[in-house]
Structure 1
């Protein structure tokens, strides 16, 4: 099997993380870097590859098998369109677009193209989520009834000092953090069709929210509740429970999701499973059978890269398509509108 040549656009922190993963993967090699910034020269020199100021300049000189777009959000759509025109598969870092309108434009273009696009919601490649999906699809929980989720964490003051725009509208946890959770919940429980939300800025006093309470309705009839806060001294977040990013301290006695069905419930990511033994006669008077589902941990970013290689070779369809990436944006947008305006907001799909 030939080694795939993959280029990276964007030599910032996430771009350099992708670079490390490519160098560690025997299925691919780094073809080039694309970044107009002066600082990118050192990154390219250390990696031993050519540096190009733009995708257009790269494609005039070379045609890699794939490209990873690790650039600022507002560049994602235009650069993905350039990749589509050049016939080069792209992995687009999340979010797929910085506005719904731009996301719709990219989705329309991708539908008319045979060039694959993979959106970098890397948690979708987590073995934890994969195992949880298997348990749900095997029917071990019965019919889904409800999900409770949380992303409760405390961002330090220097987080806001480093980027003052985070104190303003658009800088809160809804637009910055919630899109990860939406992707997880859709992956586990299906499409979200309606939302309600209450937001507060009472703790930090910024113009933007710091805490949000969200209600969700799924297409299968299940309901969900979700608590989001960047000012809560709590470990009930994916980062602090999954142990997938070692930069964060983790706590193996905490979960961030509880998925409940008619036959049992699953806590994620500890994978504690409580089920009724018999298919009938369920009752709160009867004890559960308790177990911890088996799990093999791997780096979801590394798994995402391997999946991208499979997508380039035509061996797999994108696990997170442009349509999926846009749908995550639509749900986040609906939650933001519900928090601002009140009432129930129906989530558009397409």
Structure 2
């Protein structure tokens, strides 16, 4: 049986999201308002009885001077990926998006392939023969992930070309770091921290670092630190207007969808971060800090407060988001991996992003354009 697919209202989409333990924060209706250069549409899959059984936020990016667009489903769609017949889900989606003028479809199945616990990652970093996470055995391999990838290939989908560097894709990260919270007390979670994390939290407390929740007016202070972080870590920063748009859109949908935290010391903001929540999944989204007074460890204090609040919200997982899969000592991203894993996080590999060309000529031309940017 092929499901019927059609546009759904914002209210229908939100009810679908609310009925699940969680979906990606990139698959809630408000995320479309964060991306003004894209046209957003909520889609729903319906069974024979008319029940909504799947949903997706699709972002459509028009090509300049053409009536064609790229269709993108970040960390979606939200469908039953464990079922055997993918075609009944994906075929109506491709048909609909072709009618919308899409020349290609890019999606990110929210399907985990492998996991490495904190001890496995630490051992991999210490192993001189391991260059990437994939070089060492995973702690757990999710059943069905390899078969799902094979089925996608049979249906004409191909892995999207990775951009960026060291495991960070041009779209969403394939490798992330997650701290399991489900069924664990705060004492058990803190017990999973390494000695450096526990020592740094105590240093911050002794030094008098105070972590507070901010509001929209505090985004300017966050952004000042964020620009400093971007210059230090060599990435292109987003403008303040982007974060203001995020705040307005996400908190209008749910007051707790987005939070801002700031770490103060002696009257100065030393670190700040945004936190996103959908259901029982909490993400550390954007972080920023100054190089001044690092000895008082504001970043550890900030994360510990966010983790405590996430636990109070009933989080099943605290997601540190993207990590590198590269283990080389000379890689500047390795320190970030150590920091996240030091909080007891496990490395998680997703199935990655996949593309389907609806117009092969335009798809090749677009790929060439992106490779030259």
> Do both proteins adopt the same fold according to a TM-score greater than 0.5, normalized to the shorter chain?
no
Q: Which has the higher contact order (CA 8 A, sep 6+)?
A: 2
> Normalized against structure 1, the TM-score is what?
0.30
> Normalized against structure 2, the TM-score is what?
0.29
